[in-house]
Amino acid sequence: MSTSLNFTMEFDEIKSLIKEYKPDADTSMLELAYEFAAEKYKGQVRKNGEPLMEHCLAVAYRLAKIRMDEAAIIGGLLHEVLDEADVSIQELEKQFGDEIARLVAGVSMLGNLKYRGIERYAENLRKMFVDIARDIRIILIKFADRYHNLETLNALSSDKQYRIAREVMEIYVPIADRLGIWYMKSKLEDLAFPYVHPDEFFQTSEIVNPHRIGREAYLENLKTVVLQRLEDHGITLAVIEQRVKSLYSVYRKMLKKGSISLDGIYDVVAMRIIVSSIADCYAALGAIHQHWKPLPRRMKDYIAQPKPNNYRALHTTVFCEKGEVVEFQIQTAEMHAEAKYGIAAHWNYDEARKISRSVTKNIEWLQDIVSLWNEENPGGEESMHVLTLDIFKHRIFVFTPKGDVINLPEDATPIDFAFAIHSDLGRRCAGAKINTQLQSIDTKLRSGDVVEIIFDKNRRSPSPDWLAYAKTALARAKIRSQLRETERL
């Protein structure tokens, strides 16, 4: 079969995918981009001998898999033309318009950042985040690019393999997690894992793979029983599938519990139940608990209290058939799509070209950080602080006394909590109660803490010492701003 015929078949697959989630899509511009790319990439090969066109089609395909819009998919198809095909930005604008030219230029800029660790490239990474905050699709195209790069790393030297895989682990995986794109996050993690931690990858694989095969067979047999249980409770529109935890996530769990074994890890292969409404989610949970005994403290309601990346589901772990322990994850179809594809699940523009609220909610943290950067213009050390804490640090849930959820980075303090609620509350903070106990304002908060801020109505300005206690960019910026105002007055 000729190479050009292969390309045509792969392109037809991309169009078929698009038609699945957008049946009325007009793919005429995409077809023009395909012809343009085929011409410009002609004769170009990558270091592994693969035609460059093959790589760009693979990137476009992965963007279609996460249900991106036509402009992003065209951007993926053309993402190498500026650097590898001697095409100018002016030619790109003339052929495909400003929007697609901007996407391709943004991806090209990311490709020119040679990663050598966060510490040495804080300023470049800051520029990267400023760029992707303007159009989040730039980073989504880069995810797809890195996905295929990791699949073809074997043609590179071991040093380059490690550098690229480490960059993915330290930069792209955390961003995919914050954007809630589980599909990309898990794929990137598992593909980078063997290059960054080869020994640990081998050890984890040896433990997990035999277990996973057995669990998949067990859950397949259990599916009929579960469907009958749900039907007995009036839930007839349910889809049941298996969710396999990424290998790297299992490794992280084993590290956390300090044991290289699967003891106590019940979700290597979980059973996902997809129902038609939130009411059916809770009804399904009741049906499962009525027939099988739940494990203590293993029920989690991420519908009432979503994760920081907006993940929503009910999780429960029960003693099931033959005494086996099984984790169930219960979602609506909308929740499942959001969990798998993140912001890409709702990447739709209205006639006014405004991003939908569901997308804005998932990316506002990035826009807020960039706004603070622009306002405060922090130097290298402060930029590093923002990068490591507000972007790459794990997140925690902290609650107000009324039950509102505040999303903060690990190591955040009551000062961060106060400023996250309101600037005036932060400025007047005089102390804090954590889980009803009086604590100092530099106490590190933990997920699940209930925090009440004690405020002094007579206080007019924060203390300069608070800059040492505050961890988030928002709190630090507000403290500096209020201190400047006080000095001016």
Tokens 């995810």, residue? 143
Tell me the C-alpha to C-alpha distance, in Å, between residue 220 and each of 60, 241, 271. Answer: 33, 9, 9
User: What is the amino acid identity at position 75?
Assistant: G
Comparing CA positions, the residue from 326, 335, 220 lying closest to residue 281 is 335
Burial of 347 (0-12, 13-18, 19+ CB in 10 A): buried
454: which 2 tokens?
């004690």
Specify the pLDDT at position 352: 33
SS3 of residue 429 by DSSP: strand
Start-to-end CA distance of the chain, whole Å, equals: 77
Domains of the chain: 3-196 (1.10.3210.10), 198-341 (3.30.460.10), 393-488 (3.10.20.30)
What's the chain's average pLDDT? 84
Alpha carbon distance 84, 220 (integer Å): 47
Q: Work out the number of other CB atoms within 10 angstroms of the CB of residue 459.
A: 12
What is the model's pLDDT at position 364? Answer: 64
Predicted local distance difference test score (pLDDT) of residue 148: 94
For the chain, helix, strand, coil in percent to 5 are: 60, 10, 30
Per-residue pLDDT of 116-150, as tens digits, reads: 555 555 666 666 777 777 788 898 999 999 999 99
Question: What is the per-residue pLDDT for 199?
Answer: 94
Res 357: pLDDT? 46
CA–CA–CA angle 231, 232, 234 (5° rounding): 60
Q: For 387-465, where are the alpha helices, taking DSSP H only?
A: 414-421, 423-427
Position 370, amino acid: V
Count other Cβ atoms within 10 Å, centred on residue 233: 15
Per the listing, tokens 């730039």 go with 138
Ranges of residues in the chain with a pLDDT under 50 are 1, 348-359
Q: Counting Cβ atoms within 10 Å, is residue 119 exposed (0-12), middle (13-18) or buried (19+)?
A: exposed
233's tokens: 């409770």
The reported pTM is 0.80
Task: Name 428's Cβ contacts closer than 8 Å, sequence gap at least 6.
Answer: 455, 456, 457, 459
